[in-house]
Amino acid sequence: MALAFRLLPGALSALVLALVIGGALGGVLSVAGRIDMAALLGDAYVLGILRFTVWQAFLSAALSVVIAIPVARALVRRQRFPGRALLIRLLGLPMVIPTIVGVLGLVAVYGRSGAINDLLAMAGTGARLDIYGLGGILIAHVFFNMPFATRLLLQGWAGIPGESFRLASQLGMTGGQIFRLIEWPMLRQIAPGVAGLVFLICFTSFSIVLVLGGGPPNATLEVAIYQALRFDFDLARVVAFGVLQVGLCALIVGAGHRLARSVPVELGLARDMPRPDLAAPAGRIGDAAAIAFAALMVLLPLAAIVASGVSGDAWGAATRAPLWFAALRSLAVGLCAGLLSCLIGAGLVLTARELGVRYRRPGLATAIELGGSLILVVPPFVIGAGLFILVQPVADVFAIGLVFVVIVNALMGLPFALRILMPPAMEVHERHLRLADGLGITGLTRLRLVDWPLLRRPLGLALALTTALSLGDFGVIALFGTRHNQTLPYLLYQQMGSYRMADAATTALILVGLCLALFIVIERGIGGRGHDRA
């Protein structure tokens, strides 16, 4: 088989990426040439937006990781309490539920008419909690990112050899000594990378800041791009914010690669060694408090979503035609974006594994994988704004807005698809390349007999995840959405904005149900019956 044919899938995927991302950046730069960028970047308003973006991301990352450390440590120390496995699974829910739905749940708990303020009023304290502003943004970012940080830190603890705790028992170490001498060195390696990742997520936050920010003083760069494009049509500021966003994201991603450390998980000979510090009363109380806090932080908003969604006139709200038209559009957007993302990702993976395994060029394979993650450097809102500027002179961007939503969401899911598909595809190629070549198994026959049985599970997971994320995304549809092409997240935002909270709760519950159902159906349908035994 010719080298050119083996590189063709990756070349086609790279061409799609170059056309979309290059076209969007071209649209932004075409306007930048007519603008005094130096004056704009020195503008007090622009600098104020930049300061707030960095400040809220820093506070959110710090709070998320600082809270996640005792939670992860408590989960590691207490291996046998009832509901531990369920709690760890529930910690994954904030990562997959749509952001706009999570925000609605937080408003139901911490909002002006929420459960916390009701308790404060019953207690007669006179104090009121206001979720709109920096405080609300931080609460929401902790809700979404603390569980994520906890799961990453759990992997770090899993990498500590069990022999270390056996030695600690023999030496009679206290809990403080174990933390200082055994756990802190691991945290010094892992925590900065986790904090950097959370910082990047919060730096590009859109839905949370748009809903809970409370106005322009609390806007991030992404919200400022949205406001400048949709309300002011101020292309100069769109370009200024876009240039800042791309430049700073490139710096953050570069720093993140330097901070990130891989953690070997299977180092010890005996992994379930009992710790000598479990019986101390202070440790018991601290662990219980950390676990209870994490459980309440995650479960209260989720319970509020379910309770609000089935209360009141839920049946009336659920039978309205606009809701189901929006649901059909969301399904179409999610499925098209998921398929496109996996097709682009599969093309890059096929070429990368040929270069990495057959031709022993791991550097080129890594470069292809990094190329597929360009969306981390060029945020989706900048791509959306660039496409808007590029197409707006020749076509009605809102009439074809859903096409842009599909394309940008597909690129947003691409890094996840690559992370899921690349390692098993490399491993399968490494194991079976020589045997398949020796038996003359090539092309579609090889795909059917060798690749499909071994890669269908990761492919099912990648498609399920990218589809569910695209279905629940509110960021890009906010830029291109109108009442004629609204999806469920867009409809939910409009209902919240017009204070139709009962309707919003029903929409949120249906949106979450669709995301979870679609995820399960796709993962099980493609992954096969053996998925649960894996």
Identify which of 278-287, 381-390, 443-452, 489-498 has the greatest average pLDDT: 489-498
pLDDT digits (tens, 9 = 90+) for 320-369: 888 999 999 999 999 999 999 999 999 999 999 888 888 888 888 888 87
Q: Is residue 317 part of a domain?
A: no
Q: CATH number, domain at 516?
A: 1.10.3720.10
Handedness of CA 332, 334, 337, 341 (dihedral sign): negative
Q: Is residue 324 part of a domain?
A: no
Q: Is residue 504 part of a domain?
A: yes
Please give the single-letter amino acid code of residue 376. Answer: L
Q: Is residue 37 part of a domain?
A: no
pLDDT digits (tens, 9 = 90+) for 23-74: 888 887 777 666 677 777 778 888 899 999 999 999 999 999 999 999 999 9
Q: Is residue 21 part of a domain?
A: no
The pLDDT score that the predictor gives to residue 467 is 93
Count up the domains in the chain and report the number.
1
Q: Is residue 375 part of a domain?
A: yes
Identify which of 77-91, 234-248, 263-277, 279-293 has the greatest average pLDDT: 279-293
DSSP string across 258-284: HH-----S---S-S-PPPTTSS-HHHH
**For the whole prediction, is pTM greater than 0.85?**
no
- Find how far residue 311's CA is from the centre of its chain: 30
Give the burial class of 60: count Cβ atoms within 10 A of its Cβ; 0-12 exposed, 13-18 middle, 19 or more buried: buried
pLDDT digits (tens, 9 = 90+) for 221-258: 889 888 888 888 787 788 888 888 888 888 877 776 66
Q: To which residue do tokens 């079976």 refer?
A: 432
Q: Is residue 326 part of a domain?
A: no
Q: Which among 476, 489, 486, 490 is positioned nearest to 20, based on CA atoms?
A: 476
Buried b (16+ CB within 10 A) or exposed e, 9-20: bbeebbebbeeb
Q: Is residue 517 part of a domain?
A: yes
Q: Which domain holds residue 244?
A: 1-16+43-306+335-527
**Structure tokens belonging to residue 323:** 């809701």
Cβ pair 483, 322 in contact under 8 A:
no
The pLDDT score that the predictor gives to residue 219 is 87
